[in-house]
Amino acid sequence: MHSTKTAIAGTRDGIPVVAEADVVVVGGGPGGFAAALRARRDGCSVILIEKFDMPGGVHTSGLQGAANTGVGGIHTELMERFAQENCIYIADETVLPDWAGNPLSHYDYYLPPGSPFRRASFNPESAGNVMVRMLEEAGVHTFYGANFVDVRLESQGEEQRISQVIIDTVEGLQAISGRIFIEGTGTAELVARSGAPFVRGGGRQPETIETDPVNRPIPGGLLWIMSGIDFAATAAYQRRENDPSLSKLINAARAAGDIPPDLYRPRLAAQGVYGDHYIGHPTVDMSPIQGPGTFILWQNVPYEWALHMDDDAAHASRAKRELRRLIDAESRFLVKYVPGFEDAFITHVGRYVGVRDGRHPIGEYVFSIDDARQQRRFPDAVTRPMTKTFFWDAYTRYTFEVPYRCFLPKGVCNMLLTGASLSFTFETIFMVMRNFPWCTQTGEIAGHAAARAIREGITPREVVWREPLF
C-alpha cells in the first residue's frame, strides 16, 4: 500500500515540512560532506541534501579522483579509508615507463622523460560508496536525489535568517527546517537563493569589474573514463613517428572530417582574465585511474564560449550537450586513429559538468591576492599558516592565514560557507584555494563552527574564533 510521509510541522504554500535538524547542509561535495560529518560528530542533528546519489561532488560524481596526501582531520581519514577499502590505484614508472614527461599526461607532463613518478587516484564510484557509509555510520540524515531549489527567510534585525530550504524530490517540493544552514553547492547556490551578496564568476571584485569587460569564467569541465588502453603501444607510436603530441594523427583526422574544429583547440594565452593559465586542450589530456589500461580524460568547455553554467540555464544546457558531443568525437578519434586505443571503450562520463569558477560570495572578510602577497596573519585564523603556490604571481609561494570571517556571508546570519563557495576573490580561488584537501578542511571548519553556535545558542557570526582547527 502506498503511504505518504506525515508532515512534521504542517505546510505552507502546500509544501510539507518533512524534516528538521540543528544543521542543514546543502550539497555534499568535499565541503558539504566534511561539514555534515564534523557537525554530527560534534553532537548536532544533521541533514545533508545532495542532488546526486552519493557525496563527493566533483571528486566522485564528477569523476575527479585525484588522491592527495592527507592534510589532517577528515581529509586524512578519507584517504586512509579509501586505502583500507582498496579504492586507491597507484601508477608509477614500473607500470607506465613512458608516462613521465609525456605531453598527453595531465599532471606529469613537466617531469623529465622516463623519470620516477607516483600518481595516486581513487575510484570515484567505490570512494563514493565509502563516503555514503561514513555519513551513515555517523548518523547524518541524508537526502539523495534531492535538488535544493529555494529558501524561506525570516527577518532577524537588519539581517535575514533562513528558516527552511525547499527541495525538489520524487514527491515534489518539500521543506526542511534547520537552525544553521551550510553552503556546500560548489557554486554558492544557497547564497544566491538567500539574497546574500556575491560576485558573478569570471571576473574581478566589484571595485574593478567595470574595467574588466571580459567576464569569462574559467572553463568548466566534464571528465570521462576509458578502459582497454594499451599505453605502451601509444608511446611506441609517439617515439617511432616522432609525434609526441599526436599532432600528425589529429591533423589527418581533421582533414578527413573526423574531428570537429573545437576539439584539440590551441591555448589562448593572455587573452582573458586568466592570462596564461587558461585551461585548454591542444591534444589528448589524460591520467591513469582505477587500474591498468584505464585513464580519465578531460573535456573542458572552450574558453571562447564564456559559459556561465552556474547561473544561466541555456549555458548549462549547452555545456552538457556540447561536451557530450566532444567526448563522443574524441573517443571515436582515439579508437580509429591512435595506436593503443583500438580496443578502448568509454566506461564512465561524469554525472555533471564541473564549474571551476562559480559565484564568489561576499563575506565578512573577502580574502584577496593582497592577503597572500602581504602574507597576512589574522586573530581568527582557521588554520595555522599555509604555504601555497600562486600561479598568477610567477609561481611565487606565499605563507598566509585565512580568517574565519571568510566563512560568514553578509546579510544572512545563520549560514556558513564552505569549499569553492568561500568569500575569496577569483584569483585566490582558481588553481590555489579550491583543491580537494582544502575544501574538505573548510567543511570541517564550518561544521565545527556550526556545532559551537548550536551548543552556545548563538549565530555563527557570534562564535569567537581564536584557535586554528588545523
Ligand X SMILES: Cc1cc2nc3c(=O)[nH]c(=O)nc-3n(C[C@H](O)[C@H](O)[C@H](O)COP(=O)(O)OP(=O)(O)OC[C@H]3O[C@@H](n4cnc5c(N)ncnc54)[C@H](O)[C@@H]3O)c2cc1C
Interface ranges with ligand X (CB under 6 A): 27-32, 49-52, 57-59, 61, 64, 66, 147-148, 184-186, 189, 220-221, 354-356, 418-421, 434-436, 439
Nearest CB to ligand X, comparing residues 61 and 238: 61
Q: Measured from the CB of residue 143, what is the shortest distance to ligand X in angstroms?
A: 8
Nearest CB to ligand X, comparing residues 29 and 272: 29
Q: Measured from the CB of residue 434, what is the shortest distance to ligand X in angstroms?
A: 3
C-alpha triplet 310, 311, 315: angle, nearest 5°: 80
Q: Measured from the CB of residue 66, what is the shortest distance to ligand X in angstroms?
A: 5
Nearest CB to ligand X, comparing residues 249 and 417: 417
Q: Measured from the CB of residue 435, what is the shortest distance to ligand X in angstroms?
A: 3
Q: DSSP character for 417?
A: E
Q: Measured from the CB of residue 212, what is the shortest distance to ligand X in angstroms?
A: 22
Reading phi first (left if > 0) and then psi (alpha if -120 to 50, else beta), residue 135 is in alpha
Side chain identity at 85, as an amino acid letter? Answer: E
Residue 106 corresponds to which cell in the numbers above?
A: 595531465
Q: Measured from the CB of residue 241, what is the shortest distance to ligand X in angstroms?
A: 30
Phi, psi of 214 (to 5 degrees): -65, -50
Nearest CB to ligand X, comparing residues 31 and 124: 31
Q: Measured from the CB of residue 255, what is the shortest distance to ligand X in angstroms?
A: 30
Nearest CB to ligand X, comparing residues 254 and 325: 325
Secondary structure element (H or E) that encloses residue 240, with its range: helix 231-240
CA distance 180 to 461: 11
DSSP string, 274-320: TGGG----SS--EEE-SSTT-EEEEEEPPGGG---TTT-HHHHHHHH
Phi, psi of 83 (to 5 degrees): -65, -45
Nearest CB to ligand X, comparing residues 257 and 395: 395
Nearest CB to ligand X, comparing residues 151 and 454: 151
CA distance 231 to 297: 14
Environment class of residue 233 by beta-carbon count within 10 Å: exposed (0-12), middle (13-18) or buried (19+)?
Answer: middle
